[in-house]
Amino acid sequence: MEEFDQSAFRVWPNPARETVQLSIPPDLIGARLVITDAQGRVLQRARATRAQRTSFTIDTPGVYFVSLLTDSGHAVQRVVVE
């Protein structure tokens, strides 16, 4: 699978406290979002239903990965929750 340019979407703040914001370009609406922990366990799955901003909450400090997946490629952003 071909990778997107990592700037295709943004994840902030990084490090975060609990709430993590995502910025998703309009052309990636409908993409799958998958949030995993450092051990690869899937914590959340969702569809990108809105452009611009969306958010999710993680209660446990650690390192997490936010993946944006489409039929034509994927991008992954790493985020630290303190």
pLDDT at position 3, please? 52
Q: What is the mean pLDDT of the chain?
A: 85
Q: For the segment 41-71, what is each residue's pLDDT rounded down to a tens digit? A: 999 999 887 665 678 888 899 999 999 998 8
Instruction: Summarize pLDDT for 16-50 with one digit per residue, the tens.
Output: 998 999 888 877 878 899 999 999 999 999 988 76
What number of other Cβ atoms are within 10 A of residue 75's Cβ?
18
Pick the CATH number of 6-81 from 2.60.40.1930, 3.40.50.720, 2.60.40.1180, 3.30.450.40: 2.60.40.1930
- Contact call for residues 80 and 42 (beta carbons, < 8 A): no
pLDDT above 70 coverage of the chain, percent:
85
Residue with tokens 């944006």: 68
pTM of the model: 0.84
Lookup: tokens for 58: 């993680």
